[in-house]
Structure 1
C-alpha cells in the first residue's frame, strides 16, 4: 500500500497540471460512469492529501463534487499520455495533454462537503500537513497499552505512516517497537513526530523513501547500494538477518498484527 508521501506527491501533481482547467472525466471501466458524468467538463479547484486519502474538489454545483480516492493495496494512479491507455481504468481525468488514470483502487467515490468533513474527522495527524496537530494524539498514545509499533500504523493516529516509515523512524529514534504507548516518554513522542516530518518530507520531495543518515550511506560505508523495488536507503526495513549499519547486530523480523516488523534489538532495546 502506498505510504502518505506518495499521495501527497499525487496531490501536488494534480495541483500543478490540472487545477483551474476544465477536465474531461470518464470511466472506461464503467464502474464510475455516473459519477464521472457529474464532474465532466468542470474545473478542478484543489487536490489535497490527508494521510493515505486523496480528495479532489471540483467546481460543479452538485452536492456531490468531491472525488475521494483510497488506493488500498493494489490501486494505482498514474499520469500518462492521453492518446490511449490500457487496463481497467476506473476514472480518467484528461487535461487535454495528459490523463490521470486510476486503476484498482480500494475505493473511488463522489462525495459531498458533509461526507468530506466526516471522512477527514476520522483521519489522524498527518506529518506532511502544515495544519497537523500532534498534540491531538499525544494523550491517546499516553493512555494506550498497545505497542508503539502498532500505534504508528493506526491511521486514526498517524495518518500516512506505513510499514516502512514505522520501522525506520523507530530505529532512527532508538525506540523499541514493543514499547507500550503509555511508556513512551514525551521526548520520545516528540522525537518520533519530528523525525516522521523530516523523512516523509524527503519522500514527498524525491518520490522514494530514504532514511539513512549521511554517515551510513553506501559511499561512506563502502557497501553496495540497496537494490529494492521501493528505492532509497533504509536501516532495517526488509533487512532481516543482515548486519545493522550502526551496531553490526543482525536485524530482526517478526509479524505484528499481520504486517512484517523489522528492528535492531541492540539499537532498539526493550
Structure 2
C-alpha cells in the first residue's frame, strides 16, 4: 500500500496538471459512472492529501462563495494505481475506474479500494477519523499524548491511521531504528521528548519522500558510497536500515536484522541498535 508521501506527491502532480481547469471525468470501467457524472465538466479547484487519502475538489459556478463544491475521495489501498500523463488521452487500457481528462493531459485510476463523491460534511467525517499527518504540518500534540497513554506497542501505534496518518510499514520500521527503539516497546514507556523527536524525524523523512518519490532513511555515513557497498535494489526505491533486510547485517552495527509479526504485518528491527 502506498505510504503517505506517495499520496501527497500525487496530489501535487494532479494539481499541476489539472488545477484550475475544466476536467472531463468519466468511468470507462463503469463502476464509478454515477459519481463521475456528478463532477464531469467541473473545474478541479484543488488536490489534497491527508495520510493515505486523496481528495480532489470540483466546483461549478461563480463567484466562489456561491459555487457548488464536491470532492472525489480516493483511497488506493493495496492494489490501486493512479497514472498521470502529460499528453492527450488515447483509448483506455484495462479496468479504468476513473479518468480525468483535458485536451493536454489525462490521469487513469485503476483498482482503488475506494473512489466516491463526497460533500463537505462527508469529507470532514473522513478527516475526523484520521490522525495527525506529518507532511501536512499538523499539530502532533493529541497524537503523541495518545501514544504515551497507550500500552500497545509503539510499532503498532505508528501504523494506526487514527493516531498518525500516512505512516506505513517502511517509515514505521525506519523511524524506530533511527530512534533506537524496539517496535515492541509499549507507547507509555517512551518519554514524551523521544516521541516528539520521532514525530520530527517522520516529518523530515516523509517530506523528503514527497520531493524525491523515494523512501531514503540512511544517514550519510551509511550511504553505499560511504560504506563501499552496492546500492539497495527494492521496489520502494530507496536506501533503508532494516525494512525487508531480515538476515542481512545492520549498516550501523553488523548484527543480523530480524523480522517478527505485529498486528498482521511484518516488523523489521535490529536487536542490538534497538535493544
**TM-score (ref. length: structure 1):** 0.97
What is the number of equivalent residue pairs in this alignment?
268
Q: Distance in 2 between matches of 1:138 and 1:228?
A: 31
Q: Confirm whether residue 146 of structure 1 aligns to residue 152 of structure 2.
A: yes
Residue in structure 2 matched with residue 250 of structure 1 by the alignment: 256
Mapping 1:4-19, distance limit 5 Å = 4-19=4-19
Whether the aligned pair in 1 keeps the contact of 2:148 and 2:190 (CA below 8 Å) is yes
Equivalent position to 1:103, from 97, 110, 116: 110
Deviates more, 1:136-145 or 1:207-216: 136-145
93, 97, 103: which one aligns with 2:100: 93
Q: Name the structure 1 match of 2:44.
A: 44
Q: Supply the distance in 2 between the matched residues of 1:83 and 1:264 (Cα, whole angstroms).
A: 49
CA distance in 1, matches of 2:246, 2:129: 34
SS of 1:187's partner is helix
What's the CA shift for 1:50? 0.2
Aligned equivalent of 1:233, options 215, 221, 239: 239
Give the secondary-structure state (helix, strand or coil) at the position aligned to 1:266: coil
- In structure 2, C-alpha distance between the alignment counterparts of 1:208 and 1:17, rounded to whole Å: 21
- Separation in structure 2 between the aligned mates of residue 63 and residue 260 of structure 1, nearest angstrom: 45
Q: Which runs of 5+ in 2 are unaligned?
A: 62-66
Using the TM superposition, give the Cα deviation of residue 64 of structure 1 relative to its aligned residue in structure 2, in angstroms: 6.9
76, 80, 85: which is aligned to 2:81?
Answer: 76
Kept in 2, the 8 Å contact 1:43–1:58? The answer is yes
Alpha-carbon contact 1:63-1:112 (below 8 Å) kept:
no
- Aligned Cα root-mean-square deviation (Å): 1.2
Q: CA deviation at 1:84?
A: 2.7
Aligned-pair distance for 1:85?
Answer: 3.0
Runs of 4+ residues over 4 Å off in structure 1 = 61-64
Is residue 180 of structure 2 the alignment partner of residue 174 of structure 1? yes
After TM superposition, the score normalised by the length of structure 2 is: 0.95
User: Any stretches of 5+ residues in structure 1 without a counterpart?
Assistant: none
- Show CA shifts across 1:12-56 (max 9, x none): 011111011000110000011111111111100111000000001
Which residue number in structure 2 is paired with residue 31 of structure 1?
Answer: 31
CA distance in 2, matches of 1:92, 1:247: 49
Most deviating of 47-56 and 82-91: 82-91
Contact 1:123–1:159 (CA under 8 A) maintained in structure 2: yes
